[in-house]
Each structure stands twice: as C-alpha cells, then as structure tokens.
Chains A and B, each alone.
Chain A
Amino acid sequence: MPPADGSPSTAQAGSSSSDFVRKLYKMLEDPSYNSVVRWSAEGDSFVVLENEKFTKTILPKHFKHSNFASFVRQLNKYDFHKVRHNEEAGEPPYGKDAWEFRHPQFRADRKDNLDNIRRKAPAPRKTVQPEEAFQATQQIMVLSESLSATQHEVQTLREQCSELEKTNKMLVSEVLSLKKMVRAQSQASSELITHLTNLEERRRSSRNSAHPAGPGFASAAMGFLADGPDEPAPEIRRAREILDAAAADLQADRGRERLSVAYNQTGPAPDAAGSSSVMFANAGAVGGIPMVHDAVNDPRQLVYSVPQTADMDPFQAEPMQNMPYSRALSNPALHAEAPSPLTPHLKPPPAGSLWRGKKPHILLVEDDKTCARVGHKLLTNLECTVDLANDGNECVNRIKAGMQFDLIFMDIIMPNLDGVSATSLIRYAIPSVPIVALTSNIRQEDIQSYINCGINDVLAKPFTKEGMLRILRRHLLHLVKDPQSADLVAAEAGHPVAGQGPGPPTSQPYAAPVAMSMPAMAPNPQIKFEQASLQSPAAASTWQSPSQIHQTVPAMDGGAAYMSAVAANGPASMVLATNPGQRTLSLSAAPTPQQQSQQQAQAQAQAQAQAQAQAQAQAQAQQQQPHQALPPPPPPAQPPQPLQSQPGQYAGYMTPQQVTGAHLAAMAQAGAAAAAAAAAAANASPLDDRPEKRQRLYAPVPGQAGGYVG
C-alpha cells in the first residue's frame, strides 16, 4: 500500500491528472471502506463490494453525488473497464453483486502513474472532421465552378442582349425609314388614283356625250358630267382598298414596334395602339369623333372605354405573335404584290374555320337575284347560315316574327320598302344587331342618311369576298376564332391614312362619318375624289335620296292612293323574273292601258273636283309625303305625265325622319288610309280599274308578270 500522505509526485499529479482519478485513489486509501470498496488482492483493480452502501454513503462523500450509474459512466470516460468473470469458472471472487474495475495504469502501488490516466479523447469526432472538411471544400469548389460558369453565361447573355438591342434599334430605324417610304408611296399612289379617277371620269363623260346628241344637248351632258356616276370604277376602288390594307398592315407593324420601343424608350409614339378600338367605337356608337383626329392623336383612352376590345388587344394578349421577326416578311410581300390587284384578292381563305364555335346567322336583304345569289354563296362559303329577304318588308316581317340574326346585310334600293326605312323600322326591335348597308350609293350624304337611321357600316357594291370577310370580322368579333387577326383586320379600318391623304383633312366636312362607317373602302381618297367631282352640289343628290324621290314623285291624289296602297300591302313580294316564260309573257303585258285608265281616273277626279275625296287623299299625301301634296296635279295630257304613271313604285321610300316612332303601327294606319283613298278614287272615276291597278303593282299574275317591281 502506498503512503496516503501527499508527495511531490502527488502534488504534481494533482496539477496534471484529473480530479476524478485522484479522488478515486484517495477513496481507495481509506481503510474504513474496506468492506464496501477496496483494491483487489493484486492491486491492479478495485472492487465495489456493496453497491448500495457505496452509492449511499461513499459516493456522496467523495464525488458529491449518489448515482452509481454516473460513477460508472465517469469511470468509462477514463477508460476504466469492468472486469468480467467467466461464469463457468465458478463463483466470482468477490461475490455476484461486486463490481470490479480496472485500468492498466491505475494500480495501488503506482500513485505516481495517476497522471497518465486521462479522459478518453473524443476520438470518433476527430476522425469525422477531416472528412467533412474535405466534402465542404469539394462543394465549395463545385459551387465556385458553377458560379464562374454562371457568370460566364451571364456575361454571354449580356453580350447577346446588347447585340440584340443593337439589331433591334437597327431594325426599328429600318422599319421607320421603310414606313416613311411606304407612306410616301401610298401618298403618291393615292394621288395617282385621284388623277386616274378624274381621267376616267372625263373619259366616261366624253363617251356619254360622244353619242350623237347634237349640240343642243351639250348642257345636259354637262349636267351629267357634273353629277357624275355613283361610284368610281371598281378597279380604282380596289386599288384604294389595297392601299388601305397595306396601310393597316403597317399599323400592325407599328404595334409590334411598340414592343421594342418599350425598353428602348426611343422611337415614334406607338399611335397605332387604339386604332382597332377606334373602329369599334365608330361602329358601335357613331359619334362625331373626327377620324382624322382620333386615329392619329388620342386613341389610347378608347382602348379601355370600348368593351369589345378590352380583352382582345392582340398586342397585350399575345405579344409573341407580334414579334417583328415573325411578320416582318409579310409587309414587303404585300407591297410587292400591291401593283397587281389580283393577288391579294385571290388569296385563299384562312385555314380552318373562321369561327370559334357558333356560326353566324346572317340575313341578306337584297332584291337583285344576282347580288343575292353571289352574296349568299360568299357567306355560305364563309360558313355562315344565310337567310334571304327580297325586300325591306320581308326583312321587317322576319324581325317581327322574332327571328334572330347576328348580322344583317341590307340593300338600300329595294321595292316596297327600302333598306333605310327597313332599318329604321327594325332598329327598335333589335337595337344591337349590326346592320351593314350593301349598296353602290356611297356618297357622303347617302352614308350620312344610312348612319342616321341606324345602319352601322357600309359594304360597297360590287362587293368582294375580302370586303365581306372584313365586315364579318369587324362586326362579329365575338364569334371569330382568332380575334387577333380580326383585330388586325379591324385595325385596317382605323388607319390614319385619312390624315395623310391628299388635301387637308379639314376641308372635308364629311370625311369623319364616312371614314367611320366605311373604312374598308378607302375613305379618304374616295371622299376626296367625290368632293372633287361634285362641282355642283345642287346636282349631287342621288335619286335614291328620299327627298329627291319625293320631288320626282308627282303630286297627285292617285299617287297618294297608290303609295298608301303599297305601304298597306307591305309584304308584297318582289317580282324578279327569273323564269323565262314569265318574262316573255311580261313583254306583252304593257302597262299602257292601265296607265291610261289611271290617268283617266285622275282626270276625272280632277274635273269633278270632289272636295271630299281630294281632302282625304291629300291628307294622306301630307301624312306620308309632305313634299308631294301641295302643287296641283298637271292635266293628264302633259308630257311629264309618264313620270306620274307609276308613283306607287316609290311609295316605299320614306325619309328617315318620317320613319320614326311607331312605324309598324303607321304602316297599319296607312292600310286604312289606302282603303279610304282607293274608295275616293273609285267614287271619282266611273272607270273603276282599281283591282287591275293593284294587281299590277304588287301581284305578278300570269299575263301581267310585267309587274316587275324589283
């Protein structure tokens, strides 16, 4: 047993070795614990004989706790190991419950060796750490590699981007210069067209006056010249349409340009923004917005004020399709084709259906069978369901019957009831259905009257497939499958050529409504031309103009009666002789006898001066046609008489102002009035040929098939 007192080695050990080991050694030095804990006989280990006692009495004294498990754990930390005894070797030397611990350096005789007993180092951690460090560095390397790669990539992209920017700027400037050129060219072209129009005008009139009319009739020829025909040659009109289409395409390009402009912050103001919506504003509520202003200057607000286009702005919704590259070629191609009017008109219809789902149901109101058949065929080819009405009355009756249409094409000059009056009548029932005039009378005053009565747009006759398509796309946008191209088409309408055309726009008072209502027909040059040709405004009104009609209709009681009769007999069907047999018959059915009898009747009425009948008839005349009632009827034998022979033909023409309010009721009234007037005429004339007259006017009986009212 080593001495218990301290020694220099002990003190040394105390400084370097662990307290736990020295405490342990000190505890084992106490002989009073021998029965509980003591060195083994060999002195190379110690034994806890009585676990419970040791835990309760000794541990608190030396280690300030009474937890045997933590004492064992502490021992393990210092690399003490429990000595296990093989059970087969018999009873363990210190009893079953004894715990024997051993450490190679911990011996009873080697107190100096205590310093060599140390806590075990956390070995496993030390072996893990370098591994982790290696992984970390590897990760860092990978990361930095990828970082540099990314940086490189960014750099490349940046270069590419600036490259693209440069290219884009170049392209934009190129487009701008091209646009200038195109504008100049289109101006030149429209100048040429105007010139050609005038030339043709002169040629036609010279051709007309080339007839052997004699010098005395020169004045009449001049009058005709001043009045001019209703329309320029379709070739010239087509040329204008092509110019317009090109201009509209240009506009679309400008919209694309806006994309690049957006980040370049330079370039021209994207004034094409609202062009399509401008068109819709015009088509919807035809206001007094001058075309010249809104297309060029301030269309932006309209983009949001117009519901139809609010969700369909192609430049917002599908910017990719508007990239300069995809469409860049279409323009030069179109311009290259422009000199030949055939090519753009003969291009095939767009692949697939034009319509999204529902096919439009269209009413075509047209008295001319040829036009009707061509129009019907065109629309059918565009997958529309087409109903045909032969005149205004048929149209009105269908609307009254509650039939629904998506769009109505309305001829203007028709028997029984003209298109303007029909539109006025049905506008109350169908306020929102687009009604498109189908006419060759496209002077500004005509168009103004169309607009006044509620017609939305005009398709000029003779119409083309493209014109038809344009109208359909413009007004049936909600049914069209690809609203983008529809918008492009619509954009054609709003192109600002009006402001660029020859002549100052301010000098064209009618330019705005016309341009709004019939954009597809090269509004500005057209107007320009027409204004130029209208040298005598007094002669300019067309015979279709309602007031003009009334001037030519003679002021006669019979006329009024006929008129009322026709009005009363509204649904009278038009007779368009397509049957050859009927037509040859019609040749023999000369209206002369009827006219004579009619004249007689009138003369009789006049001579007898039956005040009652006169008053009745004239009252009706005033009610229907104020122009007509006042002048006294000429004697029957006068040369102008033939003019009066068929006044009923024009009975359907009512001025838009007259056709207001409860017109359907008015028509019924007219029926009663007509009966009264007819009775008056019957009283007046001993030769009561009324039924015959009636037949002639609105019933094509065989043998009288000449009742050609179409």
Chain B
Amino acid sequence: MNAKDTVSDISATVRLEAIKHILKQQFKDQRTRIGDDTVRLVGEVVQLLIVEAAARSCNQALLAGLSVVEMEHVERVLPKLLLDF
C-alpha cells in the first residue's frame, strides 16, 4: 500500500534540539545530563512514533473510505500505539 516503504524515506524529521529541551525539562536532578548521540536515539524513537501514528491513522481513514484523517481515526489507533511504544 505504501509508496514510501521504509521509515528512512520520510525526509521530515523531529528537531533533536527540541527533544533535548523537553527531556531536560523533566529532569529532577540538575546533575543529570544527556549526550547528543543519546538524544539522537530518542529522536529516532519519537520519529518512529509519529510515523506510526500517522500511518496507522491513515489506514483507519482509508478503511472508513475517507481521504481525510479525522480525530476519531487517531483515537482508534491510540491504545495499540501507546502499548507498542
């Protein structure tokens, strides 16, 4: 079904700098640090999370015979998605 078969074909990416800041906001201990390579790994996870969310909700919309993804389609894939990530 997909024209773009692998995740690597998606050229838009999450901004790693933003991910780093969000992670840092959550740290309770000021001494906790995170390296750039690690942020990259987390960025990869987040990227996959977004792509999966988008692809699964696209699938739902197509199953319903629509070409616009609405909120209910995302809602329907959320539980499984959150279990997978």
Whether both chains belong to one complex is answered with: no
